[in-house]
Each structure stands twice: as structure tokens, then as C-alpha cells.
Amino acid sequence: MTAEGQGRIRVGIGGWTYEPWRGSFYPAELPQKRELEYASHLLTTIEVNGTYYRTQTPDSFARWHDETPEDFVLSLKAPRFATNRKVLREAGESIQRFLDSGLQRLGRKLGPINWQFMATKKFDPEDFQGFLQLLPPDLGGLPLRHAVEVRHESFRTSEFIDMARDRGVAIVLSADGEFPQFADQTADFTYARIMGTKPDHAAGYAPDALDLWTGRAQTWAAGGLPKGLEYVAAPATQTPARDVFLYVISGHKVSNPTAATEILRRLNRDP
């Protein structure tokens, strides 16, 4: 969804393979090998979890490209081998191995890369600065967007916010869950992961919560900063329009596709 003078809003889920989605999100008779194809026609983005756990092949990236619509985007979780380490600035080899694994086969369907850190990882300014410097702005001419998902309260400092902003790296907003919230905008895109779906709502979220997140996505896309979120540094009232990547993650996972499609329905309904 794109409005004049705004960034593109994309909404999706984490991964596409989950047995309880069969019969609830996927038709029961749908072949498993067509799940990505099916999901990509109802959503506008998916965050790939498999890249976090193991190295993918160029053929996998090419297949994902070919199975999805032209305007679909796949965000990738970076490998844990690059982020789950004591010294982050020594992750160069792991980062390069990931970047050389075939990401270019996605072409324009390559979305942001989410570098997710464990909840026990504390902020070490010198080390984290060294890590950010290892993240290249492009891959053989293909622009790269980087986001960091930090989960420790020690990152709640303006030094970290300024560091990410200087590098043009987004800070992932984790909301409605157990992790600290960082709503500061530090890049030309917003990366949000909402984790509050529950079994007592047909769509995972109550209608007013779906309206709230729809409105927040629209505010981000227009360059605004939504109220009711936690900011570390004093926010400006307005920033440039930005693209938005909103993922419904965790929570009552079986409801996540429904919540995502409900947000998309609201976005497409509103002028």
C-alpha cells in the first residue's frame, strides 16, 4: 500500500511453514511446496527465519524469487553465527559468508536484513560500532537495508541511537511482547515486529488494536512518529517519509496471518 507523499507499507508474518496454519490459513488440500506462493498473494512481505539457523543455497533464493509476485519482498534474519558471539566486531567472516550465499538472486525482492541479538547481549559501544561498520551498503550494486534487533536494556542510551542513525541502520521495534521497546527512527525505513496476538480474538488482535497498528504504520510512512511508543532519545516531530515493514510475530502464532491480512485490509480500505 502506497499513498502519495508516503513510503510503502508492507505487512507480513515470520516464515511460511507452520503446521497449524494448514486448514486455518492455507487450504487443507494445498501442496506444501506451494505455501510460499499462496502466502505471498495474500501478504506483501515475509520475514524468513530459516536464514537465521542455517546457510541457504543460491537455488533457494532463486526459487523464492520465482514463486512470489513481482512486488513482494522477503526480509531475511541474519545468521546467528554473526550475532551470537562475544566479540561482535570479529563477525566479518560470518557476515560475508551470509552475503555471499546467494542473496543477489532475490534482486529487488530482497528486503531488510534483521540482525537479531540475544536478550543477554549488552551494549558495548566500541564493539557494536565495529559491528555496524561491517555491514555494507550494497552487495554488488544491489542496495542493502540493515536493521538491528537488540533485546537488552543497556541499549537504552542516546549513544546507541546516534550510532545507528549515523550508519543509516534501523532499530527494530519489538512491541506487545517481553522485549524492550525502541521506537526511535534511525533509517529511511521502519522495521516493526508486533508480538501480541492472543487466542481470545478471532483475528489475533482486538479490532481497536488492529486499527491502532494500522494507524501507526500510516504515521511512519508519512514521516511521523506515533504516540504511545517508547523512545530513547527526544524525537523530532516529523521526519522524511519512509517505507514500513510490519511483521506479526510470535504471540498466538496460529492467528498471525489473519492479523496481518486484517491490517492490510484496513490499509487498502483507508484513502
Of all residues in the chain, what percent carry a pLDDT higher than 90?
A: 94
Please compute the mean of the pLDDT values over residues 42-71 and round it to a whole number: 97
Residue 3 lies in a domain: no
Q: Find the CATH number of the domain harbouring 18.
A: 3.20.20.410
Residue 260 lies in a domain: yes
Whole-angstrom CA distances from 162 to 15, 44, 120, 184, 218 are: 31, 31, 22, 10, 25
**pLDDT value at position 271?**
36
User: Rounded CA gap, 81 and 52, in Å?
Assistant: 8
CA triple 76-81-85, angle to 5 deg? 125
Strand 73-77 and strand 45-48: pairing?
parallel
C-beta neighbour count of 119 within 10 angstroms: 11
Residue 46 lies in a domain: yes
Average pLDDT along the chain: 95
Residue 191 lies in a domain: yes
Domain extent, residue 131, equals 9-269
Residue 184 lies in a domain: yes
Quick check: 241 and 6 in contact, CB under 8 A? yes
pLDDT tens-digit profile of 172-216? 999 999 999 999 999 999 999 999 999 999 999 999 999 999 999
Domains held by the chain: number = 1
User: Distance between alpha carbon 115 and the CA centroid of its chain, in Å?
Assistant: 10
pLDDT at 83 over 60: yes
pLDDT tens-digit profile of 148-161? 999 999 999 999 99
**pLDDT value at position 234?**
73
Residue 2 lies in a domain: no
Residue 49 lies in a domain: yes
User: Rounded CA gap, 47 and 249, in Å?
Assistant: 9
Q: Helix 158-167 to helix 125-132 angle, to the nearest 10 degrees?
A: 20
User: Rounded CA gap, 209 and 206, in Å?
Assistant: 5
Residue 1 lies in a domain: no
Please compute the mean of the pLDDT values over residues 52-61 and round it to a whole number: 95
C-beta neighbour count of 122 within 10 angstroms: 12
User: Rounded CA gap, 248 and 53, in Å?
Assistant: 20
pLDDT tens-digit profile of 86-138? 999 999 999 999 999 999 999 999 999 999 999 999 999 999 999 999 999 99
The least confident of 19-33, 194-208, 227-241 is 227-241
